[in-house]
Chain A
Amino acid sequence: MRSGVEGSLSGDIFEDHALTLAELSRLCSVDRTTIVEFVEEGVLSVIEINSTEWRFPGAALRRVRTAMRLQRDLEINLPGVALALELLEELDRLRGVVESGGR
């Protein structure tokens, strides 16, 4: 078991990279049909590239993980998850505005 402070690690910003359907499926531990459903229901968007394969923004990882938790914990269906995610994003933005305005 590791302990103490571990040496200097450098990472990259994950969101800077585009993901293939296979990568996203593996990273989220869900099968590809689930991801395809997420796209069809508007939970996720695909970056359009001149290719036959779908590419996702790196931010899709977090979105899929959040969507799956909402779906499972609150038993929301996919259109509901898409709506919840949109509203949460808007709420986040507005909270930022309110916090700064309150100073």
Chain B
Amino acid sequence: MDFKDYYQVMGVARDATEAQIKQAYRRLARKYHPDVSKEKDAEARFKELGEAYEVLKSAEKRAAYDQLGTGPRPGESFKPPPDWGAGFEFSGGGPHADAGGGADYSDFFETLFGGAAGARRGSRRAFDEGRGEDHHAKVLLDLDATLQGGARQLTLRLPEIDAEGRLVTRERTLNVQVPKGILPGQTIRLAGQGSAAPPGGTPGDLFIEVEFEPHALYRVEGRDLYLELPVAPWEAALGASVQTPTPGGSVDLKIPAGSRAGTKLRLKSRGIPAKNPGDLYVVLQIALPPADDDESRNAYRAMAKAMPFNPRAAMGVNP
């Protein structure tokens, strides 16, 4: 079992005051709260933080923890001393159940302060006695899943209370038909796939919140898709018909003469499908041809000569 240095987790000194500990908790909780943070390991950090705070904010738990010293050397495994906990009475539950989506303690915490599975079970308020608990999970899908719909294998990690009353994480792999047109942040409901039904009742539902992996070409905004399309200066200036990718296959897109960088062209109903489907916006970028041989350098020189052009005229400076 690994020793947890709760002072290090919270970034406070071992003699920190209660106020300093609370302050550190508040600051780090805002930073790593899974609903707020985009840090990759936010959920794990937040859980660890909650556990550290649970111990350090309680005078009795902190005193007991301090007796352990600074823990074993790195690599050594930790075992609580035989007289652990003598003379201390631990009250109250552990870190918040369901804190930011997961709530198990480390083995370290559970060994020292006991699990809170009991408390957690008890805290499940009986809003509907005849119904199994709903489960909530999050998955990352590819954009094609919503554009085309279709089956995806989803692996979910679900917290669950095992036969001994301990909280365990169970992996569950489901083959799910993704509803076409689902948007990031929306939820697939699988009726009856939550917790088993209590005697004579109905099972809970499984709610799967969907997010999309970033796509190589398209950015999603609401139901609309955005595609940045590079065009050559002469295509933008003179107009052209160019091949452009769309989710349904490539199409010929007419670039109007006199287009500028940032010009937005709308391809109606080629966004995320729905009764009122989204649109595909093609945003033009002007790509500059390289001047890496005499011929192309001469072409640029000829262009400079043919059209006096001061791109900085609006700044009130001479070319």
| A interface residues (Cβ-Cβ under 8 A, vs B) | 1-2, 4-15, 25-27, 29, 58-59, 61-62, 65-66, 69-70, 72-74, 84, 88, 93, 95-97, 99-100, 103
Contacts and interface: CB of A to CB of B under 8 A. Distances in A.
Contacts of B174: 5-6, 9
A2, A29, A84 — most chain B CB neighbours (10 Å): A29
Given A70-B33, A74-B26, 12 more contacts: A9-B176, A12-B189, A13-B182, A14-B187, A14-B189, A15-B183, A62-B209, A69-B33, A69-B99, A70-B36, A73-B46, A73-B100
B267 interface: no
Given A10-B176, A15-B186, A5 B221 contact: no
A100 B226 contact: yes
Interface in B24-68: 26, 29-30, 33-36, 38, 46, 50
A11 B33 contact: no
B219 A99 contact: yes
A100 to B, nearest CB: 4
Given A14-B186, A14-B187, A15-B187, A9 B30 contact: no
Contacts of A73: 29, 33, 46, 50, 96, 99-100
Contact of B172 (A2, A10, A12): A2
B231 to A, nearest CB: 16
Contacts of A2: 172
A11 B172 contact: no
A97 B208 CA distance: 26
